[in-house]
Copies of this chain bind each other. A is one copy, B any other.
Amino acid sequence: MAKELKELTSREENYSQWYNDLVVKAGLAENSAVRGCMVIKPYGYAIWEKMQRALDDMFKATGHVNAYFPLLIPKSFFSREASHVEGFAKECAVVTHYRLKTSPDGKGVVVDPEAKLEEELIVRPTSETIIWATYKNWIQSYRDLPVLCNQWANVVRWEMRTRLFLRTAEFLWQEGHTAHATKEEAIEETYRMVGVYRDFAEQWMSVPVIVGRKTDNERFAGAEDTLCIEALMQDGKALQSGTSHFLGQNFSKAFDVQFADREGRLDYVWATSWGVSTRLMGALIMAHSDNNGLVLPPKLAPIQVVMVPIYKGEEELKQIVEKFEGIAAELKKRGISVKIDDRDNVRSGFKFAEYELKGVPLRLAMGPRDMQNGTIEVARRDTLAKETVSQEGLAGLLENLLVEIQENIFAKAVKFRREMTTPVDTYDEFKRVLDEKGGFVLAHWDGTGETELQIKNETKATIRCIPFDAPEEEGKCILTGKPSKRRVIFARSY
């Protein structure tokens, strides 16, 4: 077996270590020399590019355009919206100087004290403030609305405890920022975009998500309402995977953005913002992968089909690779991405292990007997099943298999989530389920922030969301016994 695989910790042994090993060994990302910042390696970035392309197409199909706003934000902008600054002040990277100079001792460089900025600049942790300062110049009349901008960017939040993809000081994301003439339209947009995120998670990532509303405690700093998608990881912990905020008139008031309506009356503009980040990479990895490595849904796999020749001697290798090239050409015509691995310095067993580690959905192997018989071996990454099939009609078979794998991975994740979702009616049961089983716990809650916080402090579980599809049901809060109208979703989370 490959050296890399031998070193992959198993999920059962240490889930957290398994995750980190997998991210590093599959070539997705690694820690950098800069505290809390990661390097996204080519294979990981190729997956992120596929995510970006799909999301960007979905944003454009819903009428959005891309733009770009400054990385650096004047400190004073931050203070304009009170709860916003409170939410982000503690994790801001601050630029205070704009020049270095040679150190007095001649060794290296030091910050030039004479190049101090009059006002400090914050490396954006999110861009509401700089964008609404800009929108003030763009919006005068109802004819200027809606503004439907998205930005692909890097942001910095100074996290103390970081984990590759899941929580890093710098991460990549997209942030949509829209401006509307009416409250209704802005709310509609907020729902539309959380719907786009759900579709992306389920149809591209094969990750089922619960769509719902955050409680007041968990709301975005500066929002009136935060909608979210919540996914369940294989260790039973939840991962918030995307959020869509209705910002009301908070930012338009903070930055004085008013518009004249058809009748010439002035009113403040209504706003939304919404984002997903490289954190989705963490969700993708943790939702599907196993002890052999990554399991990638075909739609996001940089390589969908890999071909490995089984041969002795150069002549055999040449013949098999030629055959592979014919198959590859047919697959490419169908839009399937293919790699032929003709390396002659590693054994085929090593290659098999490597592509399992990298999560390539389909692996083809062909030896001299296959050449004679007109057959080929097809191995699925999701089920690890192998089958020898005829070379005839192969391209169509593989195309169908890729669809099947995409759906099977999703179905598996749905089944897992169903098994790991537990309704409970008492606090004891609640705590027992959290400790012994994990997963989503459906429980009644009295609707107060105090209760939520007490439960969080005692159990480390938070309300992930109030699901949109939760049926009305009379019940009693598991902590206080006070009346409740529907169950909410609790879980421990990343």
Contact = CB atoms under 8 A, between A and B. Distances in A.
Contacts of A33: 74, 77, 130, 133-134
A137 to B, nearest CB: 7
Contacts of A49: 66
Contacts of A153: 154
B95 A37 contact: no
B98 A95 contact: no
A332 to B, nearest CB: 14
Interface stretch (A85-93, A314-322, A457-465): A85-93
Q: Which of A46, A109, A156 has the most CB of B within 10 A?
A: A109
B101 A123 contact: no
A127 to B, nearest CB: 11
Nearest to A41: B67
Nearest to A42: B65
Interface in A327-357: 345
Contacts of A37: 70-72
Contacts of A67: 39-42, 45
B100 A89 contact: yes
A1 interface: no
Contacts of A75: 100, 108-109, 111
Contact of A92 (B30, B98, B143): B98
A34 B68 contact: no
Contacts of A46: 65-66
A158 interface: yes
A95 B73 contact: no
Q: How large is the interface on A (under 10, 10 to 19, 20 to 34, 35 or more residues)?
A: 35 or more
A290 interface: no
Chain A interface mostly helix, strand, loop or mixed? mixed
A454 interface: no
A74 B111 CA distance: 12
Given A34-B70, A65-B46, A70-B32, A78 B93 contact: no
A468 interface: no
A172 interface: yes
A94 B149 CA distance: 30
A265 B38 CA distance: 32
Interface in A115-171: 120-123, 130, 133-134, 137, 143, 149, 153-154, 156, 158, 170
Contacts of A101: 89-90
Contacts of A109: 75, 78-79, 85, 89
A69 interface: yes
Given A85-B100, A154-B154, 7 more contacts: A34-B121, A37-B71, A70-B170, A89-B99, A94-B95, A94-B96, A95-B123
16 contacts: A37-B71, A42-B67, A70-B170, A71-B154, A75-B109, A79-B109, A85-B108, A90-B99, A92-B100, A94-B96, A94-B97, A94-B99, A94-B100, A95-B123, A96-B97, A123-B123
Q: Which 6 A-B pairs have the closest CB atoms?
A: A37-B70, A79-B108, A42-B65, A40-B68, A89-B100, A98-B158
